[in-house]
Amino acid sequence: MKSEYGAYGEYGAYADHTDQYVDGGWRPSLEAGSIPVLDPATERLLATVPAGGAVDVDAAVAAARRAARAWGATTAAERLVPLTRLRDGLAAHRTEIAATLVAELGAPIAFATAVHAALPLAVTESYLALLDGYSFEERVGNSVVHAEPAGVVAAITPWNYPLHQIVAKVVPALAAGCPVVLKPAEDTPLVARLFARLVEAAGFPAGVFNLVTGTGPVAGAALVGHPGVDVVSFTGSTAVGRTVAETAGRGIKRVTLELGGKSANVVLPGADLARAVNVNVANVFANSGQTCSAWTRLLVHRDQYEEAVALAAKAAGKYLPGDPADPRTRIGPVVSARQRERVRGHITGALAEGARLVVGGTGAPDGLDTGYYVRPTVLADVTAGMAVAREEVFGPVLTVLAYQDEDHAAELANATEYGLAGGVWAADTATAARFARRLDAGQVDLNGGRFNPRAPFGGYKNSGLGRELGRHGLEEFLQYKSLQY
The catalytic residue positions are: 258, 292
Give the whole-angstrom CA distance, residue 244 versus residue 251: 11
Q: How far is CA 148 from the centre of its chain?
A: 27
Characterize 296-310 residue by residue with b for buried, 16 or more Cβ atoms within 10 angstroms of its Cβ, and e for exposed: bbbbbbeebbeebbe
Kindly write down the DSSP assignment for every residue of 266-277, as one continuous string: EE-TTS-HHHHH
Decide if 83 contacts 128 (C-beta within 8 A): yes
3-state DSSP assignment of residue 279: helix
Rg (C-alpha) for the chain, rounded Å, is 22
Decide if 308 contacts 273 (C-beta within 8 A): yes
Give the whole-angstrom CA distance, residue 457 versus residue 82: 25
In the chain, the amino acid numbered 114 is: A
Give the whole-angstrom CA distance, residue 297 versus residue 413: 8
Closest CA to 441 of 310, 292, 239, 314: 292
In Å, the largest CA–CA distance within the chain is 74
In the chain, the amino acid numbered 260 is: G
Q: Which long-range contacts (CB under 8 A, 24 or more apart) does 444-452 make?
A: 445/421, 447/271, 448/275, 448/276, 448/279, 448/423
